[in-house]
Structure 1
Amino acid sequence: MSAAPTTSVWRQPAQVWAVAFACVVAFMGIGLVDPILPAIADSLQASPVETELLFTSYLLVTGLAMLVTSWVSSRIGAKRTLLVGLALIVVFALLCALSGSVEAVIGFRAGWGLGNALFISTALATIVGSASGGSAAAIILYEAALGLGIAIGPLLGGLLGEVSWRGPFFGVVALMAIAFIAVLLLLRGKEAKPTPTRLSAPIRALRQPPLAVLAITALFYNIAFFVLLAFSPFPLGFGAMGIGFTFFGWGVALAVTGVWVAPLLLRTMRRTTAMLIVLPLLAVDLVVAGFVAGSPAALVTCIIVGGLLLGLMNTVLTESVMEATDLPRSVASSAYSAVRFLGGAAAPPLAALLWHAFNVSVPYWFAAASIALAIVTLFVGRGALARIDEREADAAEEGAAILVGDAA
């Protein structure tokens, strides 16, 4: 990562803080429902498979929407795209809170995913365009928002979930409504006229071998990511607060390695080498998780270790996507994320099905097998990835990679 800017990163215009606050809340949504999954299952008489579809609908729509968000923002502008995204999140989070069936919550989470895709695909560009201190200051702010949101989401979900499973959804409504008002009032100034993007650009991008290899690798990797995140609340057997604290630790671990450790790692080795080291370690962690799934304390340890490894992998993989082709960064990220989120969407209900068909260990071993497929894909396609080991990403490009790649 580039050196810190000479201007203090904390001295920013009000519009930058408005978007940064909204980013924190948006990333909180990743793990917000994690602590209340068992409570939703109990309150709405839903099976674990049905409950896991809360992740599936959200991630599936987010991924598919990523294919069109650059097309939308290039035509209506960044501010309008941000406001539409925030408004959709407020509306669908409120509908989730008021729902009386798990089917309704699943459907409304899909609408939430659409809003989230519109917002996160535009937020970083807005911060970069408004931040003082240059792009490096903007990236530091974004990474701080990412880490804070990922860590706080499960904790807030646990706190509000102790009152009711509806609590976290009402919390999102309130916070996102404040963010909407802040962006509406504080994001001022005439926008530069955007260059229209072709609707088919992300699909066409996947024809390029380097991007295709990384996208398929990410698909298998994301299966493991969401088995660990979305399935683990069930075998842990904790209440909402216990699950919240567990995944607060997971989020902190992921943020620390993603923001600080990964750049240090890449100073000593190539990107492909780093991925081929981290992925096998993650597979080992998941195999161990399968063996110790009956012990909550041991499983918590595996979850935290997994967070450390996931943080490394997220940053290295998504940064690699930015350097794999000459395509515009937004197009490459959209194409990659759409494929990656498909893995995240499929993983939670598959894990629950495997649990009931066999035992609690099998979902983690399934996740480890998926990581093995990611390793094979990366190793076989390594010849197409020579470019990512030869070029360094600047701060703005790296931030854009992390933004789109880690927003699932």
Structure 2
Amino acid sequence: MSAPHGKTASPFRQPRAVWAVAFACVISFMGIGLVDPILPALAESLHATPSQVSLLFSSYLIVTAVAMLFVGWFSSRFGAKRTLVIGLAVIVVFAALAGCTGSIDGIVGFRAGWGLGNALFIATSLAVIVASASGGFAGAIILYETALGLGIAVGPLLGGELGAVSWRGPFFGVAVLMAVALVATLVLVPSLPKPKRPTSPLAPLRALRHRGLLTMGIMALLYNWGFFTMLGYAPYPMKLSAHELGLVFTGWGLLVAAFSVFFAPRLQARYGTAPVLYANLLGLGIVMAVIAAGVSTPTVVIVAVIVSGAFIGINNTLTTQAVMLVSPVERPVASSAYGFLRFIGGGLAPYVAGKLADATDLSVPFYLGAATFLLAIPVLASGHGLLRRAEAHTGDGEPVAPALTPVGAPAAPGARPVVVAVGAHDGAAAVVDAAARVARDTGSPLEVVHVEETAVVEEQAVDTESDERARATVTAHLDRLAARGVAASGQILTGVGDHAAAGRALARHAAGVGARAVAVGRSPRGPLAQFADGSFTAALTRAAECTVVLVDADSAPRKLTEDTLSELRDSVV
């Protein structure tokens, strides 16, 4: 986890392959918000009712949901790059066909094909970006989150501008931009190794037998029911032009992106995952009820929709982390199972909302959406214990994260070690060597802890390195230390969440083993990356009950003073 000081690593200093996929991510994330500004224009131009137009969302999301069950199997058999390329090609073809058709039924059908391509793309894009990144995965995650935020924010704006010319414009615009991304991916992204063991196509459905994953999935279904009810029907009572609708949903998208990346991790760290989600779902229910009560007042609807972006950003981030915390199955399988339930809720909601609006009035679908947000609270509460135990790393015997996996010979019982946090980077050996000197000077054994994190963005989660690679990294440190006569043990700390969460997890472990000190290297990630996903060192320092020694791997470590050494030797945790 630690890193050399050196030059600050910019998250935007990445290989061309990462930039190619990031560009495609921007266009892909535009897909949902892109059509919002043209919904009224579609209804008017094609002589369709709002309920008919809402099927644009239903066909897209239901096909995406079903496809999520199989994309893991497809990717494991044909490789991540090939899956990515096929997904992009499908989106190009069906977006262009949607722009060419002259009927609402044709657009609904072609949007279904678009949903298939979207599932293939989103299920592999994060993994490809992490695998192709240079200088560690943290910068790649920031770039992916930036692409997500940009796509969500720019999608409605572009849709409004193109939709002001013609309702066909957004569809053709996506087709052209995705074609550019397809060519860039073919040329710049290298072939990536396939998993050693193909994923079973039935694995996501089997995974839903686990109570924690099923509980979080049902909560996500209810949340997305309310979310896509708003997305599919809020444009009508606003009574705005396509250009004006684009501006409204751009403001909404900016709040989604900002609260997802910057504020959700901080709220989670301060209050815990479940309490934040309870308050957030309640807030969404209130906002949705305001839309329902003020459906005849465009200003009320506009303001409420924009404000909802803050709640949606928080929910998107924390719900996925909650799924990964309680899920006892592999990350890709958990992502597929969760994505299936999540998108099913989003797909059914616009269809049901349309039927209710036709039979009653436009306020009823919004009241139902508010009810689904509120109903998600007791569903989440039914799994509160599972989530709380997962965050406290107990878990009743199930392999929830964070978890510790010993590597090499165990430490001597009763010993109070110096713990050093390391990662798979060029400066790790220097950090370990500096920590070994601290251990020698204090007469303590050394414990090497490698923090293996899971990157969580939207509904996707990907391990940043394989278990084999993490074990090999720790083993290499232990072998080098043993050759120099240094007694050391090793651990792999598997965590879900941001860098700050990993720092807190290490602090808990250090307290559990009675560590004299924890040694870490300086972060190379720069202020932008640390602001976005938290500082490992800052979180560790705040939470640790022992001394934290900051190591500069680019220069010889400063000799500890006799007072400091005496304090470490005599420290009592």
TM-score where L is the length of structure 1: 0.95
Pick closer, same or farther for the CA change 1:396–1:244 going to 2, 3 Å.
farther
Pick one of 84, 101, 104 that aligns with 2:103: 101
Does the 8 A contact of 1:16 with 1:130 survive in 2? yes
What is the CA deviation profile of residues 217-242 of structure 1, one whole-angstrom value per residue up to 9, with x for unaligned ones? 01111011111111101111111011
Alignment partner, residue 135 of structure 2: 133
Structure richer in helix, relative to its length: 1
* Residue 11 (str. 1) matches residue 7 (str. 2): no
Pick closer, same or farther for the CA change 1:395–1:41 going to 2, 3 Å.
farther
Residue 396 of structure 1 and its aligned partner are, at CA, apart by 5.4
Does the 8 A contact of 2:14 with 2:140 survive in 1? no
Alignment partner, residue 454 of structure 2: 397
* Residue 58 (str. 1) matches residue 60 (str. 2): yes
Residue 402 of structure 1 and its aligned partner are, at CA, apart by 4.3
Residue 395 of structure 1 and its aligned partner are, at CA, apart by 9.0
Q: Provide the C-alpha distance between the structure 1 equivalents of 2:461 and 2:136, rounded to a whole number of angstroms.
A: 20
SS of the residue 1:157 aligns to: helix
> 1:176-187, aligned counterparts within 5 Å?
176-187=178-189
Pick one of 130, 152, 164 that aligns with 1:150: 152
Amino acid of the residue matched to residue 454 of structure 2?
E
Pick closer, same or farther for the CA change 1:396–1:66 going to 2, 3 Å.
farther
Structure 2 residues without counterparts, runs of 5 or longer: 394-400, 403-450, 463-573
Alignment partner, residue 275 of structure 1: 277
SS of the residue 2:165 aligns to: coil
Amino acid of the residue matched to residue 57 of structure 2?
F
Q: Percent identity?
A: 50
Q: Provide the C-alpha distance between the structure 1 equivalents of 2:255 and 2:314, rounded to a whole number of angstroms.
A: 10
Q: Name which structure has the greater RCO, CA cutoff 8 Å, separation 6+.
A: 1
What is the CA deviation profile of residues 202-221 of structure 1, one whole-angstrom value per residue up to 9, with x for unaligned ones? 00000000000000001111
Alignment partner, residue 347 of structure 1: 349
Q: Provide the C-alpha distance between the structure 2 equivalents of 1:61 and 1:23, rounded to a whole number of angstroms.
A: 19
* Residue 361 (str. 1) matches residue 363 (str. 2): yes
Alignment partner, residue 306 of structure 1: 308
Q: Provide the C-alpha distance between the structure 2 equivalents of 1:62 and 1:253, rounded to a whole number of angstroms.
A: 25
Does the 8 A contact of 1:321 with 1:401 survive in 2? no
Does the 8 A contact of 1:28 with 1:149 survive in 2? yes
Pick closer, same or farther for the CA change 1:241–1:326 going to 2, 3 Å.
same
Alignment partner, residue 164 of structure 1: 166
Pick one of 278, 297, 302 that aligns with 1:295: 297
Pick one of 206, 221, 224 that aligns with 2:223: 221
Alignment partner, residue 265 of structure 1: 267
Name which of structure 1's ranges 191-200 and 50-59 shifts more when overlaid on structure 2: 191-200
Q: Which has the larger radius of gyration?
A: 2
Residue 387 of structure 1 and its aligned partner are, at CA, apart by 3.6
Which runs of structure 1 show a deviation greater than 3 angstroms over 4 or more consecutive aligned residues?
1-6, 391-396, 400-405
Pick one of 336, 339, 349 that aligns with 2:338: 336
Pick closer, same or farther for the CA change 1:30–1:2 going to 2, 3 Å.
farther
Amino acid of the residue matched to residue 318 of structure 1?
T
Residue 298 of structure 1 and its aligned partner are, at CA, apart by 1.5
Alignment partner, residue 194 of structure 2: 193
Q: Provide the C-alpha distance between the structure 2 equivalents of 1:399 and 1:127, rounded to a whole number of angstroms.
A: 13
Q: Provide the C-alpha distance between the structure 2 equivalents of 1:268 and 1:35, rounded to a whole number of angstroms.
A: 37
Amino acid of the residue matched to residue 169 of structure 1?
F
Residue 353 of structure 1 and its aligned partner are, at CA, apart by 2.4
Pick closer, same or farther for the CA change 1:325–1:2 going to 2, 3 Å.
farther
Q: Cα RMSD over matched residues?
A: 2.0
Alignment partner, residue 383 of structure 2: 381
Amino acid of the residue matched to residue 456 of structure 2?
G
Pick closer, same or farther for the CA change 1:291–1:400 going to 2, 3 Å.
closer
Pick closer, same or farther for the CA change 1:2–1:351 going to 2, 3 Å.
farther
Alignment partner, residue 241 of structure 2: 239
Alignment partner, residue 74 of structure 2: 72
Does the 8 A contact of 2:454 with 2:461 survive in 1? no
Structure 1 residues without counterparts, runs of 5 or longer: none
Q: Provide the C-alpha distance between the structure 1 equivalents of 2:275 and 2:260, rounded to a whole number of angstroms.
A: 17
Q: Provide the C-alpha distance between the structure 2 equivalents of 1:294 and 1:152, rounded to a whole number of angstroms.
A: 28
Alignment partner, residue 502 of structure 2: none
